Amino acid sequence: MMPVRSAGIDFPDELARPGGAGLTICVAPARDLPYFPEERDAVARATAARRREFATGRDCARRALARLGAPPVALPPDADGLPRWPPGFTGSISHGGGLCCAAVARTSDVAALGIDVERIVPFEPSLARRVCRADERARIVRMPGLDGYWPNLVFSAKEAVYKCLSPRFGCFLEFEDVGLAFTIESAAGHGRFRVVDAMPGRWEGAARALEGRWLIAGDHIFASAVEHGRCDPG
């Protein structure tokens, strides 16, 4: 089991467990860092804050790749804005509330993955209703210890699910397209989630098979979603 590696945050390795020994995660606060020449065009016109997030996210990804034996490589975005991972690897990058994180795995171990980090902030009721379906709200409000957190938790978990599925299947998903169920494994603030129903599509089977985990660390929520099995390039 590879532990979650973090900079500035102490939390257990629960988030890394969906990928087993093949998954590694790095977390760091956004800061000014160098990036590869091939990556410069992507942020040439970006704000200073966006450049910090971009550089730190790529740095987290390269450190995660290094732990799996990959050499330092440029990770320029593709036409969809997603990192171009080196052959044999897949990954996901996220940033939110001043933090950046990256999860990476070998394609021999994991077909696809998604990771998300969000700062816990109050949700407007209208936004909470848009993100959380009525059946999800009914399930999650009965869970102790999530008062004030549940809209953030559902949002982050769905972001992780969508980031896992969209690159693999080329689909655009709305919040209502999947329904999630959550469990709490520790009063310290971590647990699992799973897709209990999904709108019909060729991605539906993969969505139902995803393994998800969530974690509250300080004023941030992390969520990861993993589709197990080898990635089929075809």
- Give per-residue pLDDT as tens, 76-127: 999 888 999 999 999 999 999 999 999 999 999 889 999 999 999 988 989 9
**Using DSSP, how many helices (H) and how many strands (E) does the chain show?**
5, 9
9-41 pLDDT, tens digit each? 334 444 544 444 567 888 889 999 999 999 999
Distance of alpha carbon 64 from alpha carbon 200, whole angstroms: 34
DSSP string, 157-223: HHHHHHHHHHHHHT----GGGEEEEEEEEETTTEEEEEEEEE-SSTTHHHHHH-EEEEEEETTEEEE
